[in-house]
Structure 1
């Protein structure tokens, strides 16, 4: 496979074949992220993508899961993305799962008819970075998205039948806006009701704008206890809508995953145990590793 630049995929897609369809991220300005700082956003040529699809077929006798990279693949024109999805389905008739990255704004920029066509063609899942539901935090991190944008994008994806995993970051409000970040993110999730969520602990990426803000004293890192309390608030206040809780990212202090809402009580017991007994909860500095 002819991958270009740094390659990322969600940890849930560890067993998926990766097909690079775009380079970089069309937003690529979030203060906390350096994932695609080595390239400018570009949609690859169909001929190159089709060559990689054929190469993947030659390498793998059986492929049940494919993930399309790089960032927000959904940003490309629907007609082109449909041709890619059709080619993949024709090449891998045994395929069960086809997923990609998509900003919520990418959903908004397509009609429900376009999204439905993609779902009918074989697209099953989209991973979308919500990051926060707090308007101040969203503006501070330069997400280029509002709460209203996220709600509208989620509604379109739901209507089209595309499953959406919404990821967000504990600690992104810093030390001073931890409570608002937790409350507003939880309230937004209750409105959107995604099919799955992936809460992650804040990890400061070297070279990011956020790292520079921390160095200048403009962003004060939250404590590990604040991260745990943010997750506790989420567990106590998220509605009973069905979704899968992927809370097992490597940076998370209390790792847990399962079907929501059945896991609410055991997850709360788990988080309370970490708050009471985990030595990390007593530290003043979060300890996470870069992606």
Structure 2
């Protein structure tokens, strides 16, 4: 396949075939992220995407799950995306799942009717980075998104019937704003009710603006205990039927399952880690670059 630059996909899409539809991220200012710092945002020529889909058909005899990269593919024009989805359906009639990255502002820029068309054309899940529900943290990380944007974007997704997985980062408020970060994130999740969430522990990426803030002492990393306490607060206060992808490799207690069914069990594991896991006593967060 003719992939350009670094390629990322969410860990729940480990078994999905990847098709590159856009290059980079149209925002690309988030202080914690270096995923797409090697390229400018661009929507690929439709004929190139079609050629890759056809090549994929020659390589794979059976494909049930596809993930469209790069960052916020949903930013592309609706008519363009409909052509891509139609080509996928024609080429892979057995495909049951098509997912992509999309920002809350990408949802806001499309009408509900446009989003419904995408849903009917086969779009089955959108991954969106919430990162934090705290307005102060969102401004500090240069997300270019507000609480109000999240509420409006999720409302459009709900009306169109497009399931959304919101990802966010334990510890993104740092040592000083851990409480506000997790409280506001939990409050916002209870308000917008995503179908799935994927929390992950903060990992400082080499070369990121956040790394430079840490080196200058402007951002003080949270402790391991704060990371665990943030997850404890989340599980104690979430009131949404959803799937919980808490098994990112950086999480101290990897776990996943449906909520609320698994909520009590997950909370017990977090409490046990707070009491017994030696990592909980460390004053320095231990995570690894993506």
Q: CA deviation at 1:158?
A: 1.0
1:272 aligned partner: 271
Q: Give the deviation of 1:214 after TM superposition.
A: 0.3
Alignment partners' CA distance in 1, 2:241 and 2:234: 15
- What's the TM-score once normalised by structure 2's chain length? 1.00
How many Å apart are 1:277 and its aligned residue?
A: 0.5
Aligned residue number for residue 121 of structure 1: 121
4+ runs of 1 displaced by more than 6 Å?
none
Number of the residue aligned with 2:250:
251
Aligned-residue RMSD, C-alpha: 0.4
Q: What is the match of residue 50 of structure 1?
A: 50
Quote the Cα distance in structure 1 between the aligned partners of 2:14 and 2:262: 24
1:264 deviates by 1.2
Q: Distance in 1 between matches of 2:128 and 2:263?
A: 23
Once the two structures are superposed, the pairs formed by residues 202-213 of structure 1 within 5 Å of their partners are 202-213=202-213
Alignment of 1:17-96 (within 5 A): 17-96=17-96
* In 1: Cα distance, 2:38 partner to 2:143 partner: 19
Separation in structure 1 between the aligned mates of residue 18 and residue 12 of structure 2, nearest angstrom: 13
Q: Where do residues 175-186 of structure 1 align in structure 2 (5 Å cutoff)?
A: 175-186=175-186
Q: SS of the residue aligned with 1:26?
A: coil
SS in 1 for 2:115: helix
Alpha-carbon shift at residue 275 of structure 1 (Å)? 0.2
Structure 1 unpaired stretches of 5+:
none
Q: Give the superposition deviation at 1:76.
A: 0.5
Alignment map for 1:162-177 (pairs within 5 Å): 162-177=162-177
Unmatched runs of 5 consecutive residues or more in structure 2: none
Shift of 1:242: 1.2
Alignment partners' CA distance in 2, 1:89 and 1:278 = 48
| TM-score, length of structure 1 as denominator length | 0.99
Please name the residue that 1:187 is paired with: 187
Residue aligning to 2:234: 234
Q: Distance in 2 between matches of 1:54 and 1:109?
A: 30
Aligned residues: 290
Determine the C-alpha separation between the residues in 2 that align with 1:123 and 1:221. Answer: 38
